[in-house]
Amino acid sequence: VVEAWCRKEFGNLAAAREAGVKAPRPIAFEKNILVMEFIGAGGSPAPTLSQVGLEGLEDPDEVFWEVLRNVERAYALAGLVHADLSEFNILYNGDIVIIDWGSAVKRGHPKAEEYLVRDLGNVVRFFGAPLDPIRVAKIVISRASAKAEEDEEGWLIVGGKALYEELA
């Protein structure tokens, strides 16, 4: 079971990275050992958003939108819902890195929408954003089936709009 979980997380990390999601680069796995890129400096791991807190962020709004951009890329391009996303699974070292992809599910999973709403609810709650996670999830889901282009900042553009413009 642990070996299968390790293999699953390795595959999820690879798919997320390929989709341009800010996640650690998976290197190798064997049995129950997963080797991935180290995120941190001087031998110390980067802190989580829960450790940094909103007051430790230079621009919390920018970080919030960066998390949502990555959630959309994971869903639309990798076909993944993290399913355990919160301030405890997002590292911050001046930029975000989403970790702990072992629980992620494919977007066709029977509970994918429920997990997406929960992930978005955790993010909205942490940042105190005035958004309804159900509405955000519905927009992310509907945009995933449309043809998207990408702007220079990595936002998916659907119908001429980025996600943040649709949520405005």
**In contact, 127 and 89? CB cutoff 8 Å:** no
* Structure-token pair, residue 27: 């290197």
Q: What residues act catalytically?
A: 84, 100
Q: What is the pTM of this model?
A: 0.94
pLDDT, tens digit, 9 for 90 and up, residues 6-59 = 899 999 999 999 999 999 999 999 988 899 999 999 999 999 999 999 999 999
What's the CA gap between 61 and 133, in Å, rounded? 16
Packing angle, helices 60-73 and 133-144, rounded to 10: 40
CATH superfamily of 2-167: Transferase(Phosphotransferase) domain 1 (1.10.510.10)
What's the CA gap between 89 and 82, in Å, rounded? 10
pLDDT, tens digit, 9 for 90 and up, residues 128-155 = 999 999 999 999 999 999 999 999 999 9
**In contact, 140 and 116? CB cutoff 8 Å:** yes
